[in-house]
Amino acid sequence: MKDTRGFGYRNPTAQYHGTKMNNASPGRITLRPALIVGISFLALALVFSARASYGLVMPLWEQEFGWTRSFTSATAAAALLVTAIIAPIAGRLVDRHGARTVLLAGFSALAAGCFLIAITTHPVAFFLSFAGVAAVGFGLIATHVVSTAVEQEFEENQGLATGIATSGSTGGQFMIIPLLAVLLSYYNWRVAFVVLGVATIMMMICVLRWFPKGSRILPDTVGETTSQTSAWQDVLAINKIPAFQILFWSYFICGYTTTGVIETHFLPYASFCGFGPVSSATAYGVLSGVNLVGMIAAGWLTDRMNRPLLLGSIYVLRGLTFILLVSVGTNIEILFIFAILFGLMDYSTVPVTASLIATHVGLRVMGLAFGLVSAGHAVGAALGAYSAGVLFDIYQRYDWVWWSSLWLAVLAGVMVFFLSETRRVSSV
């Protein structure tokens, strides 16, 4: 059934697993697709901003408490590893119980983490609050959880809907981080984390009010879903699919070349080149803003063109942008050109990868499969962040970091080109 209000909403007669349909008539649409997309956007905006606030407040913690950069960096790395562990668990929970349950659990952990950070003074308490409690929220409220929810709910225009919903992951950094910076300027970092905690509770209310209960069982997969299989059986089955292996390792490289080297080392590199904090932050803001446009555009294209060709091209073009970073020198114009071009190719892999997982692995286990892929992304990011620091310490330059990112991104693109294009949904 096509939703005449824009997006292709799934047939409302499809069953939900784990909840009742509240006796709704077969012809009645009980949920508004725009609300699902909108709440998903805001959820990711808030969570990714809370995660990005770490880099914003890090110098203040070091100055106030005398903590070393190695300690604060280790805390950030530990949070990434926790996220990697939680990601497939979150995906499995979405498959079995729906995104609503996962989002509520994630917001609960994030709110608790923010409030604990706001009152902490001891390094151990801080480490446990951020890398333990808050990191669970980061892992539960993630792009693969939102993507799975959207793919379950929409029959047409899935790519566009996924692109808009997941663009909150970068849109939040563009919109919310400046507000946190204002709070830091006029108040202090404790107030900023209290505000984040309160905003998290408000998002919980929105999820409780408008997000669907349970996981949607599609008519063509009801029989498969009712015959329950263990998580380990599904993991083994997923890993035997060649398309999953390609998507996993390409997304591993994606993490290295985005969250790992750019989100962690772009601003330090700009400072190394001699650019001031205002110019550097503005360039990063432009990158984040263009990122949002790139995700939505990629989602729109996902519905209309060969997806392996699209995803592979994104990786190759992303790799080529690193040539600009090698040649930045003291030229601020090249830095901004890189920010624009890289921003278009940064998170734009998310809606295409989500769509390929849905068709090549299957909707029944999409949450688990995308969770495993996202775990690979987080591990790749941790490797990129750490190795970039090591390479800089050895050579006192970032050239090898950017060249390695270029060739790895091209490799990811070549791998994806071997995928076949099929719109028929597979099942595991």
Which amino acid is it at 211? F
CATH of the domain at 291: 1.20.1250.20
> What phi, psi does 16 have (nearest 5°)?
-110, 140
Residue 262 Cα distances to 35, 96, 134, 422, angstroms: 32, 35, 23, 33
The whole-number average pLDDT for the span 112-129 is: 94
CB atoms within 10 A of CB 230: 8
Range of the domain at 355: 18-219+230-417
Rounded percentage of the chain residues whose pLDDT exceeds 70: 86
Please write the tens of the pLDDT for every residue from 229-287: 788 888 899 999 999 999 999 999 999 999 888 887 887 788 788 887 667 777 877 88
Asked if residue 3 is part of any domain, the answer here is no
Is residue 387 within 8 A of residue 403, CB to CB? The reply is no
* DSSP secondary structure of 114-173: HHHHHH--SHHHHHIIIIIIIHHHHHHSSHHHHHHHHHHHEEESHHHHHHHHHTHHHHHH
In this predicted structure, the answer to whether residue 315 has a pLDDT above a threshold of 50 is yes
Asked if residue 5 is part of any domain, the answer here is no
Is residue 138 within 8 A of residue 250, CB to CB? The reply is no
Asked if residue 426 is part of any domain, the answer here is no
Asked if residue 424 is part of any domain, the answer here is no
Please enumerate, as own/partner, the contacts of 394-399 that have beta carbons within 8 Å and a separation of 24 or more. Answer: 398/265, 398/269, 398/272, 398/325, 399/326
Is residue 231 within 8 A of residue 55, CB to CB? The reply is no
Q: What confidence score (pLDDT) does residue 177 get?
A: 72
Band of the pLDDT at 387, cuts 50, 70, 90?
confident
Can you tell me the distance from the alpha carbon of 394 to that of 388, in angstroms, rounded to the nearest whole number?
10
Asked if residue 427 is part of any domain, the answer here is no
Can you tell me the distance from the alpha carbon of 6 to that of 260, in angstroms, rounded to the nearest whole number?
37
Sign of CA dihedral 189, 194, 198, 204: positive
The whole-number average pLDDT for the span 92-98 is: 86
Residue 301 Cα distances to 39, 298, 352, angstroms: 23, 5, 9
Stated length of the chain: 428
**Run of H or E residues at 11:** none
Of residues 16 and 258, more confidently modeled: 258
Asked if residue 258 is part of any domain, the answer here is yes
Q: Which tokens in the block code for residue 98? A: 């729906």
Band of the pLDDT at 23, cuts 50, 70, 90?
very low
Q: Which tokens in the block code for residue 262? A: 């750019």
Is residue 345 within 8 A of residue 410, CB to CB? The reply is no
Asked if residue 413 is part of any domain, the answer here is yes
Residue 156's DSSP bridge partners are 8
Asked if residue 373 is part of any domain, the answer here is yes
pTM score over 0.85: no
The whole-number average pLDDT for the span 310-334 is: 93
How many distinct structural domains can be found in the chain?
A: 1
Is residue 98 within 8 A of residue 91, CB to CB? The reply is no
| Residue indicated by tokens 């379950």 | 152
